[in-house]
A and B are shown apart, each in its own frame.
Chain A
Amino acid sequence: MPAEMDRRLVYLWGIAGHPEVSPALRALEADGWEIVVPSVAGFDGESGFVAPDEYLDWLTVFWDALDATGALPCPVVGASLGGMIAAELAALRPEMVTSLSLLAPFGINSGDSPGLDLYAVPTADRMGHLFAKGVPGAFADRFGHKGEEEAPVARYLSDIASASLLWPLGDRGVAKRIHRIRCPKLVVWGDQDELLVPGLIERWGGGEVIAGAGHLLEWDAPDEVAALLRRHLGAN
């Protein structure tokens, strides 16, 4: 592996998309890490997106996008929805993931404590439920640049993309495949996560819980998340 690829990682974004690199990952960039974010249609709110019919079709879309980056095999960090995809990648294509970091991943939810149904929350209020410490500017007006008429449409398309993967509980049977993950794994949760109750971390084999952080904890607790990622990436 070339030396420059020793400090490259793939990042898979969460339920609200990827408006910009999170503060936690910017800290890793400052350490010299290259953050590779695959391009997947739908989450950007651009028109023309048609959600794949089946989960396998969705995984194929992600696999194609990941392969197109040329970054794999490497460490993979997945948050929220992206955590589910990252876990699937590590389980189904284990040779492609050298270490796995999951930040409040979807993928396992028994339904006993389903958490907040984000799609049943009025659109204008949704972002507030993803963060415990206020909505970051990047998410506050996620599609505002598209203008008053097009912003709701972009939000709708982005919702279709995430909902077609997560509807209705965000459980895609990852629990049945988790035993196939053989790379080092870090799981981190925020204790203020409204979407996925922190107790779910035990279903992933345990991990670190950060006090005061919500679902998108890399934004709520950038220093703590960056420290955990540094330690995990450095050790592996």
Chain B
Amino acid sequence: MSYADRAEFHYFHFFPYTGLPADAAEKESLWVDYPNSNYDPKAGHVLYQRYMAEMLLADKLGFDGLVLNEHHNTQYTMNPAPNLTAAALIPQTTSRISVFGTPPNFEYPNRLAEEYAMLDVMSGGRLDVAFPLGTGMEYWANAVNPATARARFRESLDVILKCWTEDGPQSFAGDFYTYRYLNPWPKPIQQPHPPAWIVGAGSSETMELAAEYGFGYSVVFIPTTMQLKVFDHYRERLAHHGHEVGDDKVTIGIFAYVAETDEKAEEEFMPHVMYFFETALRTTPRYLNPPGYVTVPEFRRRITSADVHGSADWDSLREINRIVAGTPEKVADAIANWVEEARTTRVNLNIALGDMPNWKVVKATTLFAEEVIPRLRSRKVVPA
């Protein structure tokens, strides 16, 4: 069997805040210190209702999962607390729910373990989670010194796993967190715990952590070719640590749009992709890399790497990201190739992107579910 005909499509929605004032185009960064006076709660209410409806549509159309993420101090997403959104989705859906995810560094780890366990129990075992370190930008927004980020992250994971996999009460004494009675109720319904991934940006430290803990690995904001190399290394390290190298261990992100013709799809999709990369993601290198957030080897890599935050053109974006707009056949072909080269069955699919209007989201989501997924699942021959 090919990866394509077993691929799972998890519908990723950023819940972006749109309708920014015209002068946003002149701002160096729309993260961290872009004034929240530009946020209109009434407009936000309308957007929440719309985005929830789009997620429910995806669920109804049969997508395998719904994916939420978390960021702070930014228009990029209106989900600074995605567990709340997940809780609202659970009783209205039947697909899996992915919280990809709350950075453990910004919660007490026992509380995050409790929240995820709640969602897992509430959903009857439909929860997938990812543990991001958090982008550099989040550390300007939260009361955590970035110099402690990686050590704190590892310790948080230890606390969370202890909460999920060991019976309490028990004690835990770490450098950052100390518990006399670690005894969270509830515990997750999925055993030993909900499927978990670590989200990284290609650093070897984060990849190694995912491999060591046996978690899946998802990587964002680095070029596709680099992702593939990191995935290969991750699989080697996963096996080295004695974990099974499952087909869904690696998650890839795909930006896709489907329309009647290739030209129409590109015309309808391109402005929103450009908005996403040029506006929604726009920030500065200094916010990306607060002091201590990355290790020295990773710092060396980053100062010589291309920056994907806030500047791009359509062709170069397609060179370094998985972006496809076209007919169902074209989109299916592209995705088949991508999942085969990444050797994965798990796709986080981004259709709703940037300032895309609802009608386009509904159109492309429906066409993808009804015309693309069946094409992939009926394939017997994998494209070279």
Contact = CB atoms under 8 A, between A and B. Distances in A.
B145 A163 contact: yes
A51 B295 CA distance: 11
Given A119-B286, A157-B296, A163 B140 contact: no
B148 interface: yes
Contact of B286 (A47, A122, A153, A167): A122
Interface residues of A, number: 20
B140 to A, nearest CB: 7
Nearest to B285: A122
Contact of B147 (A51, A121, A123): A51
Interface in A146-161: 152-153, 156-157, 159-160
Contacts of A160: 147, 291-292
A53 B151 contact: yes
A53 B291 contact: no
Interface of A: 47, 51, 53-54, 119-123, 152-153, 156-157, 159-160, 162-164, 167-168
B296 A47 contact: yes
B303 A167 contact: no
B300 A167 contact: no
Contacts, number: 56
Interface of B: 32-33, 140, 143, 145-148, 151, 175-176, 284-287, 290-292, 296, 299-300, 303
The 9 closest A-B CB pairs, nearest first, are: A163-B291, A164-B147, A159-B291, A160-B292, A51-B147, A167-B145, A160-B291, A53-B175, A156-B299
A120 B286 contact: yes
A162 B145 CA distance: 11
Given A153-B299, A156-B296, 18 more contacts: A51-B147, A51-B292, A53-B176, A54-B175, A119-B291, A120-B32, A122-B284, A123-B286, A152-B299, A156-B299, A159-B291, A159-B292, A162-B291, A163-B290, A163-B292, A164-B292, A167-B145, A168-B145
Contacts of A152: 299, 303
Contacts of B148: 51, 53, 164
A56 B369 CA distance: 56
A218 to B, nearest CB: 24
Nearest to B155: A53
Contacts of B143: 168
A163 B32 CA distance: 18
